[in-house]
Amino acid sequence: MIVNGRPIDDDPRPGQCLRTFLREQGWTGVKKGCDAGDCGACTVHLDGTPVHSCLFPAIRAAGREVTTIEGLTLDQLALHPVQDAFLAAQGFQCGFCTAGMIMTTAALTDEQRADLPRALKGNICRCTGYGSIRDAIEGKPRVKTDTIMVNGPVVPAIGQSVPAPAGPDVVTGKAQFTADIGRVSAAASEDADAPPTAPLHLKLLRSPHAHAWISSIDAADAMRLPGVVAVLSYEDSPAAKFSTARHHNADDDPYDTLVLDRTVRFIGQRVAAVVAETVGLAEAACRLITVDYEALPAVTDPVSAMAPGAPLLHPAPSVTPCGDPSPYPAGAGNVCTEIHREAGDAEAGFAAADAVYSATFRTQRVQHVALETHTTIGWRDGTGRLVLRTSTQVPFLIRDEVCRVFGLAKDLVRVVAKRVGGGFGGKQEMLTEDIVALAVLRTGRPVQLELTREEEFTAATTRHPMEVTVTLGATGDGTLTGLALDVTADTGAYGNHGPGVLFHAIEEAVTAYRCRNKRVAARAVYTNTVPAGAFRGYGLSQTVFAVESAIDELARALSVDPAQFRRRNLIQPGEALSNGSGEAEDVSTESIGVLDCLDLVEKALADGRGLAAPDGWATGTGIAVAMLDTIPPGGHLGRSRVAERPDGKYAAFVGTAEFGNGTSTVHRQLVADVLGCEAADVLVFSSDTDRSGHDTGAYGSTGIAVAGTATVRAALALADAIAARAASGADARDGKLLEAEGYCDGTSRSVAFTVQGFRVAVCAATGEIRVLQSVQAVDAGTVLNPVQLRGQVEGGVAQALGAALFESVVVDRAGRVVTRVLREYHVPVLADLPRTEVLFASTVDPFGPFGAKPMSEAPFNPVAPALANAVRDATGVRFTSLPLRRDTVYTTLQARAASQRATSQEE
Ligand code: FES
Ligand code: FES
């Protein structure tokens, strides 16, 4: 075949798909987001026609012209018009889908462009919500094109829509994600952080049992397979327990996990690891391993798990590495952790109310579906240090735990993330790094592990499913008198993020409203199912769905406008927060902008912008509010270093990670603003444990609030040093280049708000919900980069709409994940989503850099209740479970209609 104009001599292996063949030939712009033709990340042109190369046999491309994203660029200086358009509209975030999007778009006819929902039905983007992609294709730039020349943007100011510095690499397929450096050695790679030789491949044999004891493992047949280098089992595992969840304080999570455990607690848990010369060999060897299991009784839902006499998943109490009892003593009733609080007297509050509303709400298990799956490549460098190149949000926390588990000094391990293809909290876990470290230490050779999409569903983490009972009482004028929450979260087989998610779930959902009488009871429960973990919103979306739905119902019961009800009861600027514990919270509420947000959304809905409803469909509007504390309460540190460069520019070394959240762009702006240079003159290097001081990492929406503050402080310190040097009469040409460090301890917390509004139409005959208008107003403080913030909000709303309307990881009664491929899961494509109008309240945060508040997670949280409230307004039916799939809506509406008919006949 001819690839990008060059003839290829190699023959593909029997059965090899075009995607893997092209990647092996070095065309790593061809990405892998699935294995089944569902995501479009692998799109290439075959004789000018776009194909999903993962579905196309490489042998059938013989004699044909193949074009990848690398071949789309006409020459070194001129991008393809579609690449230009994606840059101008910033039609990407993490960039993992972008090459496929561009390849599909570049082949569209005018007629196809006129029907984008159909034209892009084979391409998934998990980050953007498609707003900027649609703009790119429709030729609507979001940034000034003359600011995005190859050398980077030239607009250096806070509040400017500076484009992402990685943009040119993203749209040309040059951006290197972890797996992209795996096929070659450092000598052959342009990337200095590549392994010294092409890596071996690791595959995992996984448990078919929900709960079992491994009696024996026989790997003799597997080891006899030529090309198999090692088989690792529980006998090879370090004895140190850990949590896959990574937090600033490791004791935040129970120590309940081993690299390879002799007890398996969910279908899909690691049983053995095979290291071999190729992926195919490693998979074949997994099939040759004989494992004898002693099956144990399993519990696959929280009610069974908490029943008297239920089998215990973790009968031994968790202890910290110091030998202290963990705060999460597993045992009784499989309860991983529980929280009970009461301030005032909730029952008295309900007794004093003119109306009380109580209902139980249920949220489902959903998956992050970051388009890049978890991937790690490990090796020993020339000095013998262990290097892990990995797709993580938390490089320093990975390094620290790998060191503890394997007994290594911190200076003997380096963790590098570089570009990460989406995270959403799912990469705040150690799911691949530990087993790769074990394999490298055992074999002495570079080793790569790339999870498949099926493994992401069956063995990575999900959002915690929750059952939330809300009881609210209020007087006739709409004043809340009592608020009670009872929450049960299913944390799955391990307690990673179980305590943190539970804590967060009952925090801002409760503190957002003033009420003297509050009561909370909550528990996270172990079950023999795939573990839950961190996911954008961190538990809050589940409880906000319940509370904001209940607020809506209570307001209706009192004949009070739901928005007015919220205005009356929402926390006001300067008021103290109360989470029901009776303890004062160290969180500033001075900058609250929620009332502005409510005004903006109400006005937008009243203006009736958006689509017209189809004839005969019921229509309605709904709003919901969510609050977010700006920094996690458990501690979060940021450290940055800013240095002069010999070329007169500046380098910023930041510990936080870039995974499409835009931090590298904003850090560039922060440094430029402080040092008075152009943003293009600041190069940002992130996520490398060798290049900056310890940083807790990119979670909890801290990339700007904490890491950005550290960067501003480093830049200020450097500015002072430069001024001092100038005062002494010297300059950079006279001597050594200056650098300075900045630190943020993450203790100054405030709150941010998001308010979502929807206008929907609902078809009773089919159950379809069509979003006619979507608007979100955000209390984001100073808007550092309007285009990036808009993109974050659009993406958050889109991801939340997917979870509200379609997405569900289905687990059967035996504990087996049934949803194993993307097409069964229904990540929204462009056709599924409305445009979301994004509005900014006018606020300034007292602590964030230049007054900015975080806005990575917050846009997700109010979406599901706003949608449910709009559907309630349209249909009169309160839906209390997610997702609001067509079949559910249809059967519910039909049942209600039948009941109404029966009642009218009786009358
Ligand atoms: Fe080919 Fe997903 S990797 S469609
Ligand atoms: Fe599309 Fe991340 S930018 S998947």
Q: Which amino acid is at 334?
A: N
Is 77 in the same domain as 43?
yes
C-alpha dihedral, 707 to 709 to 713 to 719, nearest 10°: 100
Least confident of 24-28, 61-65, 317-321, 427-431: 317-321
pLDDT, residue 155, reads 45
Verify whether ligand 2 is closer than 6 Å to residue 95 (CB atom). Answer: yes
Is 485 in the same domain as 577?
yes
Instruction: Please state, in angstroms and rounded to a whole number, the distance separating the CA atoms of residues 327 and 411.
Output: 30
Q: What is the DSSP letter of 834?
A: -
The CA 37 to ligand 1 mean position distance, Å, reads: 4
Is 212 in the same domain as 268?
yes
* Residue 686 contacts residue 417 (beta carbons within 8 Å): yes
Q: Count of CB atoms within 10 A of residue 49's CB? A: 8
Is 346 in the same domain as 389?
no
Verify whether ligand 2 is closer than 6 Å to residue 130 (CB atom). Answer: no
Q: What are phi and psi of 529, to 5 degrees?
A: -135, 170
What CATH number is associated with residue 761? 3.30.365.10
* Residue 171 contacts residue 100 (beta carbons within 8 Å): no
Q: Which whole-number Å values give the CA distances from 66 to 107, 119, 355, 836, in the listed order?
A: 13, 21, 67, 37
Is 709 in the same domain as 822?
no
Verify whether ligand 1 is closer than 6 Å to residue 54 (CB atom). Answer: yes
The CA 68 to ligand 2 mean position distance, Å, reads: 18
Q: What are phi and psi of 355, to 5 degrees?
A: -145, 140
Query: For residue 452, which ligand has an atom nearest its CA?
Result: 1
Verify whether ligand 1 is closer than 6 Å to residue 33 (CB atom). Answer: yes
The CA 98 to ligand 1 mean position distance, Å, reads: 13
* Residue 869 contacts residue 562 (beta carbons within 8 Å): yes
Flag whether 858 is in a domain: yes
Question: Does the pLDDT of residue 511 top 80, yes or no?
Answer: yes
Flag whether 309 is in a domain: no
Question: Does the pLDDT of residue 812 top 60, yes or no?
Answer: yes
Is 575 in the same domain as 596?
no
Verify whether ligand 2 is closer than 6 Å to residue 127 (CB atom). Answer: yes
Q: Which whole-number Å values give the CA distances from 123 to 18, 101, 128, 137, 886, in the listed order?
A: 18, 6, 12, 14, 23
Question: Does the pLDDT of residue 78 top 90, yes or no?
Answer: no
Residues 6+ apart with CB under 8 A from 109: none
* Residue 427 contacts residue 344 (beta carbons within 8 Å): no
* Residue 564 contacts residue 575 (beta carbons within 8 Å): no
What DSSP letter does each residue of 371-384 carry, written as one string?
SSPPEEEEEE-TTS
20 CB-side CA count, 13 A: 15
* Residue 670 contacts residue 742 (beta carbons within 8 Å): no
Instruction: Please state, in angstroms and rounded to a whole number, the distance separating the CA atoms of residues 186 and 191.
Output: 7
* Residue 467 contacts residue 494 (beta carbons within 8 Å): no
Query: For residue 659, which ligand has an atom nearest its CA?
Result: 2
Instruction: Please state, in angstroms and rounded to a whole number, the distance separating the CA atoms of residues 498 and 492.
Output: 9
Q: What is the DSSP letter of 13?
A: P
Is 28 in the same domain as 123?
yes
Average pLDDT, whole number, for the chain? 93
pLDDT, residue 153, reads 41
Question: Does the pLDDT of residue 156 top 70, yes or no?
Answer: no
pLDDT-above-70 percentage for the chain? 96
Pocket test for ligand 2, best of 32, 135, 371 (most atoms within 8 A of CB): 371
Question: Does the pLDDT of residue 331 top 70, yes or no?
Answer: no
Better-predicted residue by pLDDT, 147 or 384:
384
Verify whether ligand 1 is closer than 6 Å to residue 38 (CB atom). Answer: yes
Is 72 in the same domain as 135?
yes
Is 253 in the same domain as 377?
yes
What DSSP letter does each residue of 225-277 carry, written as one string?
STTEEEEE-GGGS-S--B-SB--SSGGGS---B-SS-SEE-STT-EEEEEEES
- pLDDT digit string (tens) for 597-645? 999 999 999 998 888 999 999 999 999 999 998 888 878 899 999 999 9
Pocket test for ligand 1, best of 42, 46, 103 (most atoms within 8 A of CB): 42
Query: For residue 171, which ligand has an atom nearest its CA?
Result: 2
Flag whether 672 is in a domain: yes
Q: What is the DSSP letter of 583?
A: S
Flag whether 178 is in a domain: no
Residues 6+ apart with CB under 8 A from 115: none
The CA 855 to ligand 2 mean position distance, Å, reads: 18
Is 703 in the same domain as 793?
no
The CA 135 to ligand 1 mean position distance, Å, reads: 24
Q: What is the DSSP letter of 660?
A: S
Q: Which two tokens stand for residue 104?
A: 């599909």
pLDDT, residue 145, reads 52
Mean pLDDT, residues 802-809 taken together: 97
Q: Which two tokens stand for residue 860?
A: 């997700």
Backbone angle region of 727, left / alpha / beta, with phi > 0 → left and psi within -120 to 50 → alpha: alpha
Verify whether ligand 1 is closer than 6 Å to residue 37 (CB atom). Answer: yes
Q: Which two tokens stand for residue 658?
A: 């870039």
Flag whether 900 is in a domain: yes
The residues pairing with 639 across neighbouring beta strands, listed in sequence order, are 743
Flag whether 621 is in a domain: yes
Residues 6+ apart with CB under 8 A from 324: none
What CATH number is associated with residue 74? 3.10.20.30
**Number of independent structural domains in the chain:** 5
What DSSP letter does each residue of 191-207 carry, written as one string?
-TTS-SSPPEEEEEEE-
The residue contributing the CA closest to ligand 2 atom 1 is 125
The CA 54 to ligand 1 mean position distance, Å, reads: 5
Verify whether ligand 2 is closer than 6 Å to residue 660 (CB atom). Answer: yes
The residues pairing with 468 across neighbouring beta strands, listed in sequence order, are 361, 487
Which domain range does residue 70 map to?
2-172
* Residue 8 contacts residue 50 (beta carbons within 8 Å): no
Residues 6+ apart with CB under 8 A from 264: 207, 209, 211, 212, 214, 271, 293
Verify whether ligand 1 is closer than 6 Å to residue 39 (CB atom). Answer: yes
Instruction: Please state, in angstroms and rounded to a whole number, the distance separating the CA atoms of residues 802 and 742.
Output: 39
Question: Does the pLDDT of residue 321 top 80, yes or no?
Answer: no
Coil, strand, or helix at residue 761? strand
